[in-house]
Amino acid sequence: MINITFPDGNIKSFQSPPTGSDVAKSISEGLARNCVALELDGKLVDLNTEITHDAVVRLITTKDKEGLEILRHSAAHVMAQAVLHVCKDAKLTIGPVVEDGFYYDIDMGPVSEEDFPKIEEEMKKIVKAKLPIQRRLVSKSEALSFYENEPYKLEMISDLQDGTISLYEQGDFTDLCRGPHIPNTGFIKAFKLMKVSGAYWRADQSKAQLQRIYGTAFFEKKELDEYLNFLEEAKKRNHRKLGTALELFSFHDEAPGMPFFHAKGMAIWNALLEYWREEHRAAGYVETKTPIMLNRSLWERSGHWENYRENMYFSSIDDFEYAIKPMNCPGGMLLYNFKPHSYKDLPIRAGEVGLVHRHELSGVLSGLFRVRAFHQDDAHIFMTPEQIQEEILGVLKLMARMYGTFGLGFHLELSTRPIKSIGTDAQWKMATEGLKAALDAYGKEYKINEGDGAFYGPKIDVHIKDALNRTWQCGTVQLDMSLPERFDLTYIGKGGEKLRPVMIHRVIYGSIERFFGILVEHFAGKFPLWMAPIQVEVLPMNDDLIPFAEEVKAVIEAQGLRAEVDSRTESLNKKVREAQLNYIPLILTVGAKEKEAGTLSVRTLDGKVRYGMTREAFFGKVRDHIRNRKSDTEIFE
């Protein structure tokens, strides 16, 4: 008798050892048709695995995340099989699942996207054949013999310990693989090859250069279509493309990975910082500033010289070694230690928008998302242990207010003590319980990542969600038990004794450059009025009205708005169209009628035109919209 326990606690008994497929069929034929694999006592295995002992079982279906990953892993095998049909001399290496798809590294002649239809046609034949995917266990010596003409597989097998090795077979194709896989190739209802790039075997430039072919796969064609539509929309929103078109920022060979912000980009930048400062003042923060370059002794004391040196830039001044700061924290420690503190001073909330530099490899640089020079909106909160929950809760509420202003949702993750860490058990317990208590009091669901904290303390990661439902890790709240020790930070307690403060590191924007790029894509370049680089474009109906248009602009600017006049000798329709393409929220056309009546004709990005609007009504609505930092485009409703 084999007893199978399901996740909901129900138990089902079988007279003889069942396979995962048998278990699924015993529940319903519909479930069996949608099952792709099995979680057996916490381990993913093939659906045809025989269950020979009492076990906890979860059936993996086409609706589960693991099911999609297994499908894509199998699709990588199908692609490799198709490539071998097209190119007999190709040599296979590895084909893992990655975010949104899979790839396979193959030693073969140059491949371009023009070759994809031929490979995809072979893949369709393999899928249509519904080839069973079967696992076969062999000894290491058998595996070496089987792959005697496959140098990359031989190398991988040689690195494995002696024992059984699993191979997966589908028709005329066999691959070295741990599995699991879908029952047959027919489960792959929709797939597409996406791109190809070069890759070195085992990321070693001294080894062979391979062709890395990327693809994606889904259980339903509808899902693939939705994904491809998403990619098209994301392409339109690409911040590098929009940043250039809207003249917000640029990159230059003279400073790789270090963005240049243009005047229009700085208007957005300053709006972000103005909002940041306003919210932080209201939340009881003071703003500080520390030098960009500090002596080596400071970085040795902080631990960065030993643990982070390869990511830092250096200089020598007066025969002393200096480093350009990769983080703001050590300078903040010096500020705290400038004078003695009492428990009455705490909490101290000190924020700094500091420019930091980190040496990133050129291959990972990616627009504003991955740069070498960026600004962090750091803040360090120094407090007593009793203040942990209240301060964490205050940070979470501040984050919620600020992200909400941009229309960004978010979710929270708590990362706990890793295997390699510093500090006592008591310190970690206090810190972790403080974060948990704050999260529980905040009342928003959160995920726990066991063992994923920083070596110096647990942390809360905040993942924001943009208009395309993509998530970005921006905000963090970290409890640090290392730097207060290293810098001997103290305060005088109620009894006159010296005590060690608890310290929080936290960012909200994170890298302001990266947050800027996220907002470009989130708003697709159509920034809310309060952020827009040019808020009002004034268009004179003819050249005689240019002086009057300049007068209107002066009045607008006197109200604190950013405005410009388009005085080019172009048709009005062309000027309107270009202003709309530049996503200027308010377009004012001024003619003889407006000049005589003292009114405005206002066009908004939704195409609506409001004629004869008084200046009082216009400025009243606009000021209210900006003052409240509204993100909607309905300014005059």
d(CA 498, CA 327): 28
- CA 472, CA 519: separation in Å to the nearest integer? 11
Those residues with Cβ within 8 angstroms of residue 476's Cβ, 6 or more apart along the chain or in another chain: 459, 460, 461, 462, 505, 506, 507, 510
As a whole number of Å, the end-to-end CA separation of the chain is: 71
Task: Reply yes or no on whether 411 is catalytic.
Answer: no
The strands making up 348-357's β-sheet, listed across from edge to edge, are 286-287, 348-357, 373-383, 502-507, 471-480, 459-465, 409-415, 446-449
d(CA 571, CA 331): 56
CA 444 – CA 393 distance, rounded (Å): 11
Please pick, among 77, 280, 358, 575, the residue that the annotation labels catalytic. 358
Note the Cα 474 to chain centre separation in Å: 8
State the CB neighbour count (10 A cutoff) for residue 239.
24
Task: Give the type of residue at 201.
Answer: W
376 is catalytic: yes
Respond yes or no: is residue 380 known to be catalytic.
yes
Q: Name the H helices within 100-139.
A: 116-128
Identified catalytic residue from 46, 115, 377, 378: 378
Of residues 35, 177, 329, 474, which has the active-site annotation? 329
- Which of 81, 170, 211, 376 is catalytic? The answer is 376
Per annotation, catalytic residue among 370, 380, 522, 553: 380
465 is a catalytic site residue: no
- In the numeric block, which tokens belong to residue 232? 């098209």
The answer to whether 378 is a known catalytic residue is yes
Say if residues 107 and 210 touch (Cβ distance below 8 Å). Answer: yes
Residue in 505, 514, 553, 603 annotated catalytic: 505
| Burial (0-12, 13-18, 19+ Cβ within 10 Å), 189 | middle
Q: Which positions are catalytic? A: 329, 358, 376, 378, 380, 459, 505
